[in-house]
């Protein structure tokens, strides 16, 4: 489990089919093999590491659901280690399971903040509400507005400076994970109406490592 609070923006050193190597000296200070690290919101497992970088394997399903297949050497990625029972949950509950991809629409300055707007598929928009949580490339954010095709969030200065969200250009894809609590409620209500076993996945699978 993760909180959506980015600890480090790493850089891709190697991107081959089924493999990513990422430079991330900060979060590797206490790393162990098998640790979970969210990369742009995707929960992957540390398969190898040294003092400055780590290697993770990527499954085909993860490529299908996320933007990891678009990463090239030098690309900046949001990184977060899994939370511990003693940690503060400063963001919201993020599983590191990407449900689908949205697309960056625009960025509009508003005082010291930036309003970032995104397009999103309808099967994910149904779980989004204004003032509710959303994880974009692993970053825990609050939805400030929503329309029929997408939503917007407000990026404070810290988020602007300590994530890769403003690296995006119009049309660039982002990983989306909606609120797990909203999905549970929806699945349970649907199961009660249909008499079928509840399922959390509206599209047939999840992306994780």
On the question of a common fold for 8-81 and 100-194, the answer reads yes
Q: Which SS3 state, helix, strand or coil, does residue 185 take?
A: helix
**The residue to which tokens 């119009």 are assigned:** 170
* Tokens 């598929």, residue located: 121
Confidence of residue 194 (pLDDT cuts 50, 70, 90): confident
On average, the pLDDT of the chain sits at 91
Distance CA 144, CA 119 (A): 14
Residues 89-96 have a mean pLDDT of 80
pLDDT 10s digits, 123-178: 999 999 999 999 999 999 999 999 999 999 999 999 999 999 999 999 999 999 99
Domain ranges of the chain: 8-81, 100-194
* Class for the domain spanning 8-81: mainly beta
CA-closest candidate to residue 101, choices 173, 41, 171, 165: 173
Asked if 142 and 132 count as a contact pair (C-beta separation under 8 A), the reply is yes
Domain 100-194, CATH 2.40.30.20 — does that match?
Answer: yes
pTM of the full structure: 0.88
């Amino acid at each position: 489990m993760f909180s959506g609070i980015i600890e480090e923006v790493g850089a891709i050193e190697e991107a081959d089919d089924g493999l990513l190597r990422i430079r991330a000296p900060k979060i590797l200070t206490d790393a162990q093999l098998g640790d979970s690290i969210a990369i742009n919101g995707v929960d992957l497992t540390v398969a190898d590491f040294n003092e400055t970088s780590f290697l993770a394997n990527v499954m085909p399903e993860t490529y299908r659901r996320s933007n990891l297949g678009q990463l090239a050497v030098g690309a900046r990625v949001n990184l977060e280690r899994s939370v511990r029972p003693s940690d503060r949950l400063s963001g919201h509950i993020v599983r590191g399971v990407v449900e689908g991809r949205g697309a960056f629409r625009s960025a509009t300055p508003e005082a010291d903040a930036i309003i970032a707007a995104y397009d999103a598929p309808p099967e994910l928009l149904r779980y989004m509400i204004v003032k509710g949580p959303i994880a974009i490339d692993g970053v825990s954010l609050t939805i400030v507005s929503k329309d029929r095709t997408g939503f917007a969030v407000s990026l404070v200065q810290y988020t602007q400076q300590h994530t890769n969200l403003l690296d995006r250009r119009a049309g660039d894809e982002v990983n989306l994970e909606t609120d797990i609590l909203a999905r549970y409620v929806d699945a349970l209500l649907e199961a009660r109406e249909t008499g079928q076993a509840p399922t959390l996945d509206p599209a047939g699978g999840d992306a994780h490592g």
